[in-house]
Amino acid sequence: MNDTTFHKLDFDAIREVIATYCATGLGKSLARSMTPSVKGHVVREWLAQVGELAAAAEEYNFPPMGGVHDVREHVRASSFPAPLEADVLAHIAETLTATASLCAWFKQTGPVVPSLKSLGERIHDLSPIAAAIHEAIDERGQVRDYATPRLGSIRSTIEEAKGRIRVVFDRILRHTGLTKMLQYSGATFHDDRFVLPLKAEHRGRIPGIVHRSSDSGATLFVEPSESVELNNTIVRLRDEENKEITQILRGLSQRVNVNAKAILGTLGAIAVLDLISAKCRYAKKRKCLCPRVDADGVLELHEARHPLLIELFDREAKEASASSSLSDGARKTLLTRKEVVPIDVRLGEDFDALVITGPNTGGKTVTIKTVGLLALMNQCGVPVPVGEGSRMPVYAEIFIDIGDEQSLQQSLSTFSSHLATLLDILQKSGPRSLVLIDELGAGTDPDEGAAIGRAVIAELLRLKAKAIVTTHLSVLKAVAFTTARVDNASVEFDPESLKPTYHLRLGEPGNSNALIIAKRLGMPARLVQLAKGFLDDSTRALNKAIAGILDSRREAEAARKTARAAALASQREREKYEQDRQELLRSQEAFARWTEWVNGLKPGDEVYLRTLNRSARVVRMQLHRQTALVTAGAMDIEVSLRDIDIPAEES
pLDDT per position as a tens digit, 250-263: 999 999 999 999 99
CB 617, CB 601: distance < 8 Å: no
Q: What is the pLDDT of residue 619?
A: 92
Q: What is the pLDDT of residue 549?
A: 65
pLDDT tens digits for range 83-134: 999 999 999 999 999 999 999 999 888 888 899 999 999 999 999 999 999 9
Assess if residue 276 is contained within a domain. yes
Are residues 437 and 574 part of one domain? no
Q: What is the pLDDT of residue 200?
A: 84
Global pTM exceeds 0.85: no
Q: What is the pLDDT of residue 649?
A: 65
Q: What is the pLDDT of residue 336?
A: 55
C-alpha distances in angstroms, 13 versus 56, 341, 367? 28, 20, 18
For the cut 90, the answer to whether the pLDDT of residue 354 exceeds it is: yes
Residue 636 sits in a domain whose CATH number is 2.30.30.140
Q: What is the pLDDT of residue 409?
A: 41
Which structural domain, as residue segments, surrounds residue 112?
A: 13-126+259-285
CB 442, CB 364: distance < 8 Å: no
Q: List the one residue out of 290, 294, 299, 296 whose CA is nearest residue 467.
A: 299
C-alpha distances in angstroms, 631 versus 69, 196, 621, 646? 46, 72, 12, 16
Assess if residue 138 is contained within a domain. no
Distance CA 286, CA 139 (A): 39
Return the half-sphere exposure (C-beta side, CA atoms, 13 A cut-off) of residue 73: 4
Q: List the one residue out of 360, 354, 323, 316 whose CA is nearest residue 338.
A: 316
Are residues 472 and 356 part of one domain? yes
C-alpha distances in angstroms, 350 versus 52, 353, 466? 33, 10, 12
Confidence class of residue 427 from pLDDT cuts 50, 70 and 90?
very high
C-alpha distances in angstroms, 122 versus 57, 264, 269? 20, 10, 6
Assess if residue 275 is contained within a domain. yes
Q: List the one residue out of 388, 390, 368 whose CA is nearest residue 301.
A: 390
Residue 476 sits in a domain whose CATH number is 3.40.50.300
Are residues 514 and 543 part of one domain? no
Are residues 91 and 163 part of one domain? no
Are residues 114 and 33 part of one domain? yes
Q: What is the pLDDT of residue 176?
A: 56
Assess if residue 530 is contained within a domain. no
Are residues 516 and 576 part of one domain? no
* Encoded amino acid at 73, one letter: E
Taking only Cα atoms into account, the Rg of the chain, rounded to an integer number of angstroms, comes to 38
Are residues 569 and 475 part of one domain? no
Assess if residue 331 is contained within a domain. no
Q: List the one residue out of 618, 273, 345 whose CA is nearest residue 504.
A: 345
Are residues 382 and 480 part of one domain? yes
Are residues 403 and 467 part of one domain? yes
* Encoded amino acid at 187, one letter: A
Angle, vertex CA 42, rays to CA 36 and CA 47, nearest 5: 85
Domain final position from 463, 489, 521: 521
pLDDT tens digits for range 494-507: 767 767 788 888 88
Task: Return all residues near 61 (Cβ < 8 A) that are at least 6 apart.
Answer: none
Are residues 586 and 615 part of one domain? no
Distance CA 71, CA 11 (A): 28
Better-predicted residue by pLDDT, 576 or 539: 576
Are residues 617 and 507 part of one domain? no
Q: What is the pLDDT of residue 411?
A: 39
Are residues 162 and 217 part of one domain? yes
Residue 207 sits in a domain whose CATH number is 1.10.1420.10
Task: Return all residues near 427 (Cβ < 8 A) that are at least 6 apart.
Answer: none
Domain total in the chain: 5
Q: List the one residue out of 536, 352, 383, 278 whose CA is nearest residue 43.
A: 383
Assess if residue 526 is contained within a domain. no
Domain final position from 596, 614, 636: 596
For the cut 80, the answer to whether the pLDDT of residue 432 exceeds it is: yes
Q: Where are the beta strands (DSSP E) in 313-360?
A: 343-347, 353-357
CB 466, CB 299: distance < 8 Å: yes
Distance CA 123, CA 102 (A): 8
pLDDT tens digits for range 469-486: 998 887 888 888 889 999
Assess if residue 555 is contained within a domain. yes
Q: What does the mean pLDDT of the chain come to?
A: 87
Q: Residues 10-16: what's their mean pLDDT?
A: 97
CB 193, CB 229: distance < 8 Å: no
Assess if residue 135 is contained within a domain. no
